[in-house]
Amino acid sequence: MENPAIALTGIGLLALLCQWTAWRIRLPAILLLLIAGILIGPVGHLLDPDALFGDLLFPLVSLSVAVILFEGSLTLNRKDLRGHGPTVWHLVTWGALLTAVIGAAAAHYILDLSWQMASVLGAVLVVTGPTVVLPLLQTLRAREHLTQILRWEGILIDPIGAIGAVLVYEFVALGYSQGAANGAALHTLLLFGKTLLIGFGLGSLGGYAWGQILRRRWLPPRLHSFGTLMMVFTLFTTSDVLFHESGLLTVTVMGIWLANMRGVPTDEILEFKETLTILLISGLFILLAARLTVEQLALLSWPAWGFLGVLVWVGRPLVVWLCTLRSGLEWREKALLAWLSPRGIVAAAVASLFAIKLGDLGVAGAEMLVPIAFLTIISTVVVQSLLSRPIARMLKVVEPPPSGFLILGANPVARVIGLELQQAGFPVRLTDTDWDAIQTARMAGLPVYYGNLLSRHAEQHMDLSGIGHLLPLSPYRELNTLAALYYANEFAYGKVFQLAETRERSDRHYRDQAVGHLPVLFNENATYTRLQELIKQGAELRSAQLHDEVDLEQYRELHDDKLMALFCIDTNGRIRVANSEIPLEPQPGETLISLVYPESPVFGREEHA
């Protein structure tokens, strides 16, 4: 492509198509992005990133990786480790170190790389990352504690592994650039210490200073995201000017500092960074894959596959076995942990960046870094995406079909329904962006998530263990619609509902076009306004077990039809939600949950159905 505008537009459209396709087929987007890049690069010869960007390619890749690492580290809060046991900590510390050592040894003896180059490759391939792990966990439905271990390992290993990879790279790069190979090892160690000092010092100082600016509101909220991005670029560039290639460590430390600093409003920044990161990741991976050459792909002979086998079939099981000693996990659970370790975005981006820089320094074997990293990423993502579910079933570590409820809203309507469902024994989780409503729900004993339900932060941090239904109970129609459309592809059909609306015909047409394929929650008259008014007037949720003498119609007559049937629980503990498509029709022995109106003849009395 000779026209840069056409090339950039084409990359953007291709990235969007890959992201959409991955969302539809529920696979990590990185897989499709890499395949697309290979097809238009070394296979189809439609894109040459070096010719398109010229000298700007290297700074573009560097700044993109800086933003990706900062966004990942901004989610690394120390409180996230609470309640998940020592296993996670072992995996992301000693486990990561052991994985790097095994990878380095395999690269040295199987790929015949120097110890310096092998160490860089081993360190780069430590990182799994949430962008590839979390989509697998959503379809896997493993036991809750296994899901939590894998989920938090994927989140925490991202910045921790990236820091380790940067430090190993710095040590190797300094050795070559400063002549450590000729005996100046001490000088190299001093320079390495300078890298650590600048990276941790400038990152901590920048994080603290920017956190104070955000916390004291010295900048208007509308400039928080833009200002943070500029601060990331400034610290990254300043750090690199002070000492070459210390910028990645600096921005990672800055993100961790901000994430653990009290009173810093990072939610809006995270949302902005999520959108920016998707843009950068999508374009970056197409460009990186397109830079692969036929010669590099030809390097993937049997030693490369042997290296991959050692990393996946020897390194990961050994790491899991050592890190789960005295953890109480049974062998089946350890086997699933040993199987799931797909490599992701940071590994590919950092490998491409390091390969360019080490190649410029003349490091032997630098040309192997990118093809081996891409081989590992594509192989682990494809194989584990296809086989993880059958393997989990074979190991009998899969949770039963989820029966819990994700409730959009923490308002009075959502709280009343959530408490009744929780009392009936079903997992619930309320989510809202209203802090006061979230606090009230938490004080009532309801599990909550504070934040945007549709954000990547929610995708990474919101616990959906045991959750299989979506009840959109927000007063905002657009938010209800977006949530219903999104989770219609996450949960089974008939488990996601749309909330009834009292609108004009044109609005009904709009609603039908958007979510017309989804059943209406409870009934066509159960609008949010109607439910809110009933509860404000004192309506209560009641549970009553029906029997042969009292069916649903007789129960309605008992209340003078002053009730709204909401849920039905059968004798096996399975729950059905009243909706516009399938009549509830409770049978004898089943439990009916209804909203009883204040004007009911038996309002306030104990139920005896």
Secondary structure (H, E, C), 133-177: HHHHHHHHCECHHHHHHHHHHHHHHHHHHHHHHHHHHHHHHHHHH
Is the pLDDT reported for residue 84 higher than 80?
no
pLDDT score for 83: 56
Q: Rounded to an integer, what distance in angstroms lies between the CA atom of residue 456 and that of residue 74?
A: 13
Report the alpha-carbon angle 254-256-257, nearest 5. 65
**Angle 57-73/144-177 helices, nearest 10 degrees?**
140
Residue with tokens 């204040």: 598
Of 1.25.40.10, 3.50.50.60, 3.40.50.720, 1.10.3720.10, which CATH number belongs to 400-519? 3.40.50.720
pLDDT band at 100 (very low <50, low <70, confident <90, very high): very high
pLDDT score for 186: 63
Give residue-wise pLDDT tens across range 428-459. Answer: 999 998 889 999 999 999 999 988 888 767 77
Question: Of 91-105, 191-205, 408-422, which gets the smallest average pLDDT?
Answer: 191-205
pLDDT score for 156: 72
Is the pLDDT reported for residue 245 higher than 90?
no
Is residue 499 within 8 Å of 521, Cβ to Cβ?
Answer: yes
Helix extents (H) in 324-426: 331-339, 345-361, 369-395, 412-423
Is the pLDDT reported for residue 178 higher than 50?
yes
3-state helix, strand, coil in the chain (%, to 5): 65, 10, 30
Q: Rounded to an integer, what distance in angstroms lies between the CA atom of residue 225 and that of residue 208?
A: 16
529-552 mean pLDDT: 81
Q: Which residues of 274-288 are buried (b: 16+ CB within 10 A; e: fewer)?
A: bebbbbbbbbbbbbb
Three-state secondary structure call for residue 324: coil
* Burial of 482: CB neighbours in 10 Å, binned 0-12, 13-18, 19+: middle
Record the tokens describing residue 107, joined without a space. 């690269």
pLDDT score for 408: 92
Record the tokens describing residue 557, joined without a space. 């007559």
Q: Rounded to an integer, what distance in angstroms lies between the CA atom of residue 38 and that of residue 262?
A: 44
Q: Rounded to an integer, what distance in angstroms lies between the CA atom of residue 377 and that of residue 208?
A: 35
pLDDT band at 79 (very low <50, low <70, confident <90, very high): low
Residue with tokens 């600093």: 261
pLDDT band at 492 (very low <50, low <70, confident <90, very high): confident
334-349 mean pLDDT: 83
Q: Rounded to an integer, what distance in angstroms lies between the CA atom of residue 384 and that of residue 198?
A: 39
Record the tokens describing residue 582, joined without a space. 């399938």
Give residue-wise pLDDT tens across range 106-154. Answer: 999 998 888 888 998 998 899 876 667 766 776 677 877 788 788 778 7
Residue 169 CB: number of other CB atoms within 10 A? 24
pLDDT score for 321: 93
DSSP state for residue 488 in the 8-state scheme = T
pLDDT score for 415: 93
Share of the chain above pLDDT 70, in %: 85
Question: Of 67-71, 86-90, 590-594, which gets the smallest average pLDDT?
Answer: 67-71
Q: What is the DSSP string of 409-468?
A: --SHHHHHHHHHHHHTT--EEEEES-HHHHHHHHHTT--EEES-TTSHHHHHH---TTEE
Is the pLDDT reported for residue 175 higher than 80?
no
Q: What is the pTM of this model?
A: 0.65
Report the alpha-carbon angle 265-66-61, nearest 5. 145
Residue with tokens 């490599």: 343
Per-chain mean pLDDT for the chain? 81
256-270 mean pLDDT: 78
Which residue, 438, 459, 81, 91, is CA-closest to 259?
81
Kindly give, in sequence order, each residue whose CB lies less than 8 Å from that of residue 225, ignoring residues fewer than 6 positions away: 268, 269, 271, 272, 273
pLDDT band at 61 (very low <50, low <70, confident <90, very high): confident
Q: Rounded to an integer, what distance in angstroms lies between the CA atom of residue 365 and that of residue 605?
A: 80
Is residue 429 within 8 Å of 403, Cβ to Cβ?
Answer: no
451-476 mean pLDDT: 82
Amino acid making up residue 270: L
Q: Provide the CATH topology of domain 58-395.
A: Na+/H+ antiporter like fold (1.20.1530)
Record the tokens describing residue 99, joined without a space. 């994985």
Give residue-wise pLDDT tens across range 544-596. Answer: 887 766 667 777 777 767 788 889 888 888 888 988 888 787 888 888 888 88
Question: Of 22-36, 80-94, 506-520, which gets the smallest average pLDDT?
Answer: 506-520
Can you give the residue ranges of every domain in the chain? 58-395, 400-519, 538-609
Residue with tokens 């549709």: 454
Range from 41-45, 292-296, 323-327, 439-443 that averages highest in pLDDT = 439-443
Q: Rounded to an integer, what distance in angstroms lies between the CA atom of residue 440 and that of residue 60?
A: 46
Tell me the residue length of the chain.
609
Strand partners, 408: 431, 472
Q: Rounded to an integer, what distance in angstroms lies between the CA atom of residue 354 and that of residue 99?
A: 19
Three-state secondary structure call for residue 515: helix
Three-state secondary structure call for residue 325: coil
Which residue, 337, 388, 373, is CA-closest to 103?
373
Three-state secondary structure call for residue 598: coil
Helix extents (H) in 45-143: 49-53, 57-73, 85-92, 94-110, 115-124, 130-140
385-413 mean pLDDT: 85
